[in-house]
Structure 1
Amino acid sequence: MTGMAVVVGAGVGGLATAIGLRRAGWAVSILERRTELERYGTAFGIHPTAQAALDRLGVGEAFRGRAVPYRGARIRTPEGKVMASLPLERIERKAGRPELLISRPYLIDALMAELDAFGDVPLKFGENVSEVDALVAGHDLVVGADGIRSAVRAVRFDERSGPRHVGTVAWIGIADFESGVYGETWGKGRFFGMTPVEPGRTNWYATVPEATTAEELRGYFEDWHDPIPRVLAETDPSTWIRYEMRHLFPALPTFVNGGRVALVGDAAHAMTPNLGQGACTAILDAEALTRAVAEHGPVGLPAALRAYDSERRRSAQRVAFGSRNLHRFMTAERTRLRNSMFRMMPS
């Protein structure tokens, strides 16, 4: 082995980082605070650039085996009028492959299968990391992939950066039928989205100022166009996930510290989900970090981390900034200007 690394966090970014480091010849272990892998959640949209990163990590084939293409999505008014198209066709033309959607558990399974194939990457559950400096002392590289409340970030990075609420509540779920209508519907202070996720099922997500029960959420959308009321009516509320939307603020001045510590994914740049790029940025972080480490080797680790920070920080933070601004636009209480802007866009 060329070096010893520990990855804190076993989400998408953490597992992908462990794969990349192990492929580079490093001894890797993973510490996860939960008692099992986090399999809740619905669909991840994976952009072609992130798909290419998964290919380089050796996970692309397994990922594509469970993914579905995302095409023909529109932005609508609550009455059902099409205002614009999501740029999926343009993305596919430019990249030569479509945006793909995959259920979170299937992506986790694909990553775990690649890790298991190595046979020597221990994953320890129930590890609530607090002694970050001790980890740094005992390893050549420590990677914080431990989410928006990152313990690694709290100890080794700018303490001003932390989770910030954006004032809205998100709900997500999966309906056991194909809606046939995909994209997002934007209303006054709220929106509702639907995407494919696998045959016979529809991924949905909704954002409202606040709603604490299923009936309250249904009430926000009861007079919106079909099939939105049906999606909510025919989905078991016990399977819904509710969370308060947050992002990391202020943006970090660096993703690396001391030549031996790096952050990836939400630990580095947690963002609102409006652009659907959270999983993509985590995958791109993981691949860029481990590629730089492989190129520079353990002796050149400080240079590798600088190269990673240079490649990923500004790009990821631009996505996070764009997602936050889109959230403001989508949930605006004043819709007249927004709708007039849509009328100037191709549908």
Structure 2
Amino acid sequence: MNRESGCISINTENIFPIIKKWLYSEKDIFIRELVSNSSDAISKLKKLVSIGEAQIDGSEKYYIKVVVDKEKKTLKIIDNGIGMTEEEVKKYINQIAFSGIRDFVEKYKDKTDEGQIIGHFGLGFYSAFMVSSKVQIDTLSYRKDAQAVRWVSTSGIEYEMEDSDRTERGTTITLYIAEDSEEFLEPYKVRETLVKYFSFLPYDVYFEDANAVKDDKKEEGENKEEKADEPRPINDTNPLWLKNPKDCTEQEYKDFYRKVFFDFNDPLFWIHLNMDYPFNLKGILYFPKLRNEMDNFEGQIKLFCNQVFVADNIKEVIPEFLMLLKGTIDCPDLPLNVSRSFLQNDGYVNKISSHITKKVADKLTSIFENERENYNKYWMI
């Protein structure tokens, strides 16, 4: 393609100050948005493969890799998902009034499940400009004979496009981190954020410190020894709440509790939520053991949307009187706003909250009626 430059088509004059100042509640959410987009890109490709619209090597593993390079002041998010053509970049990046996911679902509405694709290129992608002085996209579509494309913008308004040297299907987004956001060049900060949002993402997420890799290679050269350790993903792609309760052991429930909440006192009991209709809801709620009357009664309910962490202790979903519980709740159908952080007012949310409350009440009633001695012990300090 010939080199091209222009201005991005937007409908709101001051959209970028809005994104940077208040659209997102926390600065690190740009990582959640970009990695979520990578996950969506893989989900799209998997769906196309399953319906025969795309072909890939059957032994290929899907992955997302995040690479921080403090020396170059860059942060890269890399995936081997669906990728984009030149036309798709122009439509979904340059014209952010359009929604790529809507077009995708409309085209394959009889063959795919909209609820399984939670994000799209658009406003989520533009969260990158919260922390970047320049953003670069290198992408290669899954389509046969596609040409890799490079898109670069230093302002979020003007852009340049040209051919890219990317040779593998998928997308790399390179953020040139601005001076006021250099905390996201610290490996511990990036890794901490990835663990926060993506501990249970359905695709392997790898973290790499480019400078540490350079040091390792230098050390290997000096010692003439090669390290055999394979990189390991930072996440568990199949969390316990996705399993059928009948297939889960007592030890697995306890181990999951310790892993997620760092509480090494066994919970008193738990409730495994597993519902597909009339809404999709899965999760595990634990009743923590209070050791003495001075223990803090505040629990922690982690809310997920398609295995992406959204927030803790959302009172619209979990009534305040149940906040002493600890647990994880995954509900792909939650009506989140564009930042994926806040629930919109919706009767649907009330139904979810009522269902959770009923399940807890039923469990307590069952223990009271059938295990009275244990029930009494639960409330004894």
TM more than 0.5 = no
Bigger radius of gyration among the two: 2
| TM class, shorter-length | under 0.3
Q: TM-score, normalised by structure 2?
A: 0.21
Whose RCO is larger (CA < 8 A, sep 6+)?
A: 1
Q: TM-score, normalization: structure 1?
A: 0.22
